Amino acid sequence: MVRDAHGEYGRFGQIDAVKSEIMDALGDLLETTVRNFGDGSPPWGKVVTWLIEFDACKPHKVCKEDIERRIFPHTYT
């Protein structure tokens, strides 16, 4: 249920009138989500998805490249 609520909250950011407010709030929501459900949890994933969608992931270090570095800390070429 929390995952769905987080997803719907992010979806409100598609409304131009509240987009900037939602984008700002998603950062705070990410911190709360990590504290309550853990890094990488399904609710965390929903918040991160919207941060990426709104191109607001960089300040929170949850862009695709950041997540890949967490999952695969050692790369070989």
pLDDT at 5 (0 to 100): 81
Give dist(CA 47, CA 8) in Å, integer: 10
* Pair 69, 40: CB distance under 8 Å: no
pLDDT at 58 (0 to 100): 96
pTM for this predicted structure: 0.84
Cβ atoms < 10 Å from Cβ of 57: 22
pLDDT at 8 (0 to 100): 82
Give dist(CA 17, CA 20) in Å, integer: 8
pLDDT at 76 (0 to 100): 80
Tell which residue, 42, 40, 47, has the closest CA to residue 22.
Answer: 47
- For 9-18, the pLDDT digits (tens) are 888 889 999 9
Low-confidence ranges of the chain (pLDDT < 50): none
